[in-house]
Amino acid sequence: MADALLSQAPSILTANAEDIARAEASSTPPNIIDRLRLTDERLEAMASGLREVAGLADPVGEVVRGSTLANGLELRQVRVPFGVVGMIYEARPNVTADAAGICLKSGNAVLLRGSSSARSSNAAIVAALRAALLASGLPEDAVQLVPGDTHDSVKALMRARGLVDVLIPRGGAGLIRSVVEESTVPVIETGVGNCHVYVDASADLEMALSIVVNAKTHRTSVCNAAESLLVHADIADDFLPQVIDALHEHDVTIHGDDRFREYDGVVEATDEDYGTEYLSPGHLGRRRGRRRGCDRTHPRALERPHGRDRGPRPGHHPPVRGGRRLGRGAGERVHALHRRRRVRLRCGDRDQHPEAACGGADGAARDDVDQVRRHRRRPHPIGSRACR
């Protein structure tokens, strides 16, 4: 599949140019056009993401944990495919390859319903993926593009109960809400929210400034660009003028609280601003959704207890924007399959169930788990070959 994307790059890019031309003719905002645009480099990244998924351990048939009761009854928690997965997503055509790869790797067939704005790109990508499946001796219908450009085709997919096993909406809050409320097919609700950067009092301010600017301006059109900035009060006098000037140099409009508005060029932030997916400064405690965050602190801050906050611990985390490719832990919403314990991709032992990896609650070795891991099923034919 990865090789097919690259071998068919000319036809995919030609199809993408058609989508771009239609978008420009309809006065589509530049940030949406950037999400829609494919280049040789972005196709290379899509192919690399598929190869990374192909290299992960086969999740199908893995015994997560188990035990034997006193009466001899053996209990097993085993990962199995969902069956037919429907994906409904917005403008980004790279999601077409990402979703197909992760669904096939986990032993599922996939029905893809992308945005009508990317219909030419999606059709070309799916044609390449289906040809790769056929060449690998696998059923090409394991990956299908749902026909139609109107909302009627989306409704048909949402009402295909008994034919589709689960739906995953991948996009903005409006799309997710629509699918959750209207679908008769079970839905895995993916996350929405703001991406936050927190600068602690112990932070290296030069490093923090570089991270904030990169997180916001490296590629503003993607949904993992930073939107909210929280600065520790003890360093506000030193850091705020630096970060405000730096963001203004990149034409970023800053909506801020009273402390930020002590400086020129900062717009007063409203309650709605704190939950809107476009901001720079905001406030961590007032966000409406949870996506992810990046903390910048001194390593000694790790010694301090972090309370009951479910957010990331302080520390020298990588930049908040790590790319969009699958397998990179970059906050993609296509990770939704991981949230169900039935199927989850993992790399090495990093994603083992805690009891399986570290023993039981008392720290004792889990002999029963070690035993049941020897009873894994054979690798699934689709998951083991399709993405290579």
User: Residue 46 pLDDT more than 70?
Assistant: yes
Domain ranges of the chain: 2-188+340-385, 194-303
Least confident of 83-92, 101-110, 287-296, 365-374: 365-374
Among 192-201, 289-298, 302-311, 377-386, top mean pLDDT goes to 192-201
pLDDT at 287: 38
Within 10 A of 80 (CB to CB), how many other CB atoms are there? 15
User: Residue 74 pLDDT more than 90?
Assistant: yes
pLDDT at 141: 95
- Averaged pLDDT, 351-355: 39
State the Cα–Cα distance between residues 354 and 358, nearest whole angstrom: 6
Would you place residue 305 in the very low, low, confident or very high pLDDT band (cuts 50, 70, 90)?
A: very low
Average pLDDT, the chain: 76
Which neighbouring-strand residues pair with 170?
89
Mapped onto helix, strand or coil, the DSSP state of residue 301 is: helix
Q: pLDDT tens for residues 198-231?
A: 899 898 999 999 999 988 887 776 767 787 888 9
pLDDT at 270: 82
Would you place residue 55 in the very low, low, confident or very high pLDDT band (cuts 50, 70, 90)?
A: very high
pLDDT at 365: 40
Which neighbouring-strand residues pair with 67?
75
Q: What percent of the chain has pLDDT over 90?
A: 46
332's tokens: 């993609």
Pairing status of strand 143-145 against strand 109-113: parallel
Pick the more confident residue, 53 or 296.
53
Q: What does the buried/exposed string (b/e) look like for 106-131 if buried means 16 or more CB atoms within 10 Å of the residue's CB?
A: bbbbbbbbbbbbbbbbbbbbbbbbbe
Main-chain dihedrals φ then ψ at residue 47, nearest 5 degrees = -65, -40
Candidates 3.10.180.10, 3.40.605.10, 3.40.50.720, 3.40.50.300; CATH matching 2-188+340-385: 3.40.605.10
Report, at the CATH architecture level, how domain 194-303 is classified: 3-Layer(aba) Sandwich (3.40)
User: Residue 311 pLDDT more than 70?
Assistant: no
State the Cα–Cα distance between residues 388 and 386, nearest whole angstrom: 6
User: Residue 316 pLDDT more than 60?
Assistant: no
pLDDT at 376: 39
Q: 27: part of which helix (H) or strand (E)? A: none
- Residues 20 and 93: beta-carbon distance below 8 Å: no
State the Cα–Cα distance between residues 277 and 260, nearest whole angstrom: 19
State the Cα–Cα distance between residues 358 and 353, nearest whole angstrom: 8
State the Cα–Cα distance between residues 305 and 274, nearest whole angstrom: 27
pLDDT at 75: 94
pLDDT at 348: 44
- Averaged pLDDT, 319-331: 43
- Residues 246 and 212: beta-carbon distance below 8 Å: yes
User: Residue 274 pLDDT more than 90?
Assistant: no
User: Residue 20 pLDDT more than 50?
Assistant: yes
Would you place residue 163 in the very low, low, confident or very high pLDDT band (cuts 50, 70, 90)?
A: very high
Pick the more confident residue, 359 or 103.
103
Q: pLDDT tens for residues 241-256?
A: 999 999 999 888 888 8
User: Residue 342 pLDDT more than 80?
Assistant: no
The full DSSP string for 32-66 is HHHHH---HHHHHHHHHHHHHHHHSPP-TT-EEEE
Q: Give whole-number Cα distances, 270 to 236, 289, 357, in Å.
A: 21, 17, 46
Q: At what angle do helices 9-25 and 119-135 cross, to 10 degrees?
A: 160
pLDDT at 388: 46
pLDDT at 259: 87
Q: Write down the H helix ranges in the chain.
A: 2-7, 9-25, 30-36, 40-55, 94-105, 119-135, 151-158, 173-182, 205-217, 236-249, 354-358, 367-372, 381-385
- Residues 209 and 226: beta-carbon distance below 8 Å: no
User: Residue 238 pLDDT more than 70?
Assistant: yes
27's tokens: 């006065």
State the Cα–Cα distance between residues 325 and 329, nearest whole angstrom: 8
User: Residue 377 pLDDT more than 60?
Assistant: no
